[in-house]
Amino acid sequence: MLKKIGVLIFPAGEINSVELHDALATCVNIDLYGASSVDKHGEYVFKNYIGGLPMISEKDFFDEFNKVIEENNIDVVFPTHDTVADFFAENKDKIKAGIIVADRRTAQVCRDKRKTYEVFENESFCPKVYKDIDTYPVFIKPRKGQGSVGAKLIRSAGDVTDNIDLSEYVITEYLPGKEITVDCLTDKHGELRVVLPRSRDRLLAGISVSAKDEELTEEIQYIADTINSKLKFRGLWWFQLKEDNDKKMKLLEVSTRCAGTMCMARARGVNLALLSVYDALGYDVEVFINPYHIKLDRSLISRYKIDYEYENVYFDFDDTLIINNKVHLPAISFLYQCKNKGKKIFLITKHETDIYEDLKKYDLPESLFEEIILLKPKENKEDYIKKEKAIFIDNMYAERKSVITKLGIPVFDVDAIEVLLDWRI
């Protein structure tokens, strides 16, 4: 069996690290790890998660980071923050694994928007950049910002407050038109292999939560080719554009890290993360794009951890596993999660018709259950539950009340099944 490719995501707490996880976690030839200095959402997503690493500014960072690399046989690392990408690009020789990042100069240019605009100042797609605010409206944003943090539209002198140090900002013309992000991939030969524009129809904290694929126009292709020719990328990267008053696209920023909405590319058959891994290891990559259009809309997702260890799951049938004559997908997902973890599942039900025939009707194997406990209408479920390391899931309030009152074990309604789902793969 060929050795699996060890991939480390660092830091592994923000939405783009979740996208990298989702892009790589099910690849059978990859061992995926997440690591962070500050624990955020990564421990809820990554099966292999390492927390408590030093900050990149601390003197023992490289010792501890390389220890993680060596102990877990890491081949390549994805930096997920612009500052970390810049730091890794500068210190590639100190890290004992490949880094999926652009070269040092490119990382510096991407990290600092003033440098970005200096590189492209003679291009038609570069917005007007001002040294001072002597016209209105203008748009200001931090030189080294991300996610729209600190960006502000200045309509008049009154909008410039004393706490804004303009030396740390770039001042550009105000661009009133539509905004798009363009996801890209540059291979080991420097060839631009992927250019996929997508809209930014609705934002939350600078992240696209509503988007659709956009036409790849000659204008966008030209901008992508120009950026790729003036900077040296390797693997995935992206840039953002916004229309001016004349509907001409102007450059907002360029980044050499994964974007949180690169899932749009995956949804069309282009796994930019996986292609970047293969390219980093020296393979030639092929790209094909599915022939359909796509829209994305998303909201916050909740993931949970509870401090109760259970081994025995007692699960109701009617209106719990089967709802409106259909298998309830979160329920069956949870049951197979239990099966994968070696937990015992007991189907406990007062089902009125033949339970075995109805299991067949819904294509549910009897072997999924350790035991099928069929009760009469007046029997009490708590009398058939062994409370040792057990939980109980049932849509009926009266059943849950009796079980938690008499046995003291956790009980869950159907809406709370999500609390038990383990997203770590």
For residue range 30-76, list pLDDT tens digits in order. 999 999 999 999 999 999 999 999 999 999 999 999 999 999 999 99
- pLDDT score recorded for residue 363: 98
Residues 145-152, mean pLDDT to the nearest whole number: 76
Higher local confidence (pLDDT), 350 or 145: 350
- pLDDT score recorded for residue 362: 98
3-state secondary structure of 384: helix
- pLDDT score recorded for residue 368: 98
Residue 318 is classified by DSSP as: B
Tell me what the pLDDT averaged over the chain comes to. Answer: 96
What pTM does this model have? 0.91
In terms of Cα–Cα distance, which of 262, 394, 258 is closest to 315? 394
- pLDDT score recorded for residue 284: 96
Q: Cα separation of 304 and 315, whole Å?
A: 20
Q: Cα separation of 136 and 252, whole Å?
A: 18
Amino acid at position 164, single letter: I
Q: How is 259-311 classified by DSSP, letter by letter?
A: -TTTHHHHHTT--HHHHHHHHHTT--------SS--EEE---------S---S
* pLDDT of 1 over the 60 cut: no
Token pair for residue 170?
Answer: 């770039």
- pLDDT score recorded for residue 261: 96
Q: How is 48-100 classified by DSSP, letter by letter?
A: SEE--PPPTTSTTHHHHHHHHHHHTT--EEEE-SHHHHHHHHHTGGGSSSEE-
- pLDDT score recorded for residue 147: 66
Beta bridge partners of 297: 210
* pLDDT of 101 over the 70 cut: yes
pLDDT band at 206 (very low <50, low <70, confident <90, very high): confident
Residues 336-343, mean pLDDT to the nearest whole number: 98
- pLDDT score recorded for residue 165: 80
Cβ contacts of 329 within 8 Å, gap of 6 or more? none
- Reported as type and span, the H/E element at residue 412 is strand 411-412
- The pLDDT tens digits of the residues spanning 233-255 come to 999 999 999 999 999 999 999 99
pLDDT band at 162 (very low <50, low <70, confident <90, very high): low
Alpha-carbon distances, residue 100 vs 82, 106, 127, 183, 387 (angstroms): 13, 13, 29, 15, 50
- pLDDT score recorded for residue 146: 73
Lowest mean pLDDT segment, chosen from 158-162, 301-305, 411-415:
158-162
Q: Beta-carbon neighbour count of residue 73 at 10 Å?
A: 13
Residue-wise over 142-169: b if at least 16 C-beta within 10 A, else e? bbebbeeeeebebeeeeeeeeeeeeeeb
Q: Which domains does the chain have, with CATH numbers?
A: 5-99 (3.40.50.20), 108-119+179-297 (3.30.470.20), 129-173 (no CATH), 312-420 (3.40.50.1000)
- The pLDDT tens digits of the residues spanning 264-316 come to 999 999 999 999 999 999 999 999 999 999 999 999 899 999 999 999 999 99
Q: Token match 């109760």: residue?
A: 308
- pLDDT score recorded for residue 288: 92
Q: Cα separation of 309 and 341, whole Å?
A: 12
Residues 7-27, mean pLDDT to the nearest whole number: 97
* pLDDT of 208 over the 70 cut: yes
